[in-house]
Amino acid sequence: MKNTFEITREQILELEADGLSYVRQWFPQAFELEVGKWYKRDGEFLFNFQGKYSVSNDSGAYGFSSNNNWWENIGVDKKRYYPPATREEVEMALIAEAKKRGFEGTNAIKWKFGDASYSITHPELSSFKFENNNRLTFACGVVFQDGKWCEIITQPLTIEERLTNLELRWTDTH
């Protein structure tokens, strides 16, 4: 009689982490990445796997480099193990990038994503919302989704917007 055993993916990954490298040969499917899921590399890179393994930077993934810069193309080596990134890690990185792109401060912001346009006159009263593990919104407008960032529309503020911003700043200080 042949005995059969069950082992989970997590147990397989633990065995490899403990130095049993041959488990990768026995269970190669346990090391395959899921398309659309966020992973970490060396505790520094965060990337969203797009289904293509390649050691060069040619659309295997998109995400953040070790110096927190956004990259549209990150290479993913099939021979390496990449632990999943936490929701909090991804959310923090996306919000930091959105702020670098202009979603911070008290000046009115106008932006578009695809065919939709958004604007907000008091961004300091709004917040970010991270949804579905791959979408970031601000004041109900899409800022990031599936590897694409919104386009900030750089238009001069109207006189009304300038006066409103000045009035709010004056009210806050008095």
- Residue ranges of E strands in 12-170: 38-41, 45-49, 61-64, 70-74, 109-113, 116-120, 128-131, 135-138, 141-145, 148-149, 151-152
Of 18-22, 136-140, 144-148, give the lowest mean pLDDT range: 18-22
Each residue's pLDDT tens digit, 79-125: 788 889 999 999 999 999 999 998 887 778 889 999 999 988 888 88
Contact present, 134 and 76 (Cβ < 8 Å): no
Per residue in 31-84, pLDDT tens?
Answer: 789 999 999 988 778 999 998 888 766 668 999 988 889 999 888 888 788 889
- Looking at per-residue confidence, does 29 or 73 come out higher? 73
* Single-letter amino acid, residue 55: V
Residue 126 pLDDT > 80, yes or no? yes
Whether 91 and 48 have beta carbons less than 8 Å apart is answered as no
For residues 75 and 55, the answer to whether their CB atoms sit within 8 Å is yes
The helix or strand, by DSSP H or E, that contains position 167, with its residue range, turns out to be helix 159-173
**DSSP letters of 83-119?**
PBPPHHHHHHHHHHHHHHTT--SSS-EEEEETTEEEE
Using pLDDT thresholds of 50, 70 and 90, give the confidence band for residue 24.
confident
Per mean pLDDT, which of 8-22, 134-148, 154-168 is the most reliable? 134-148
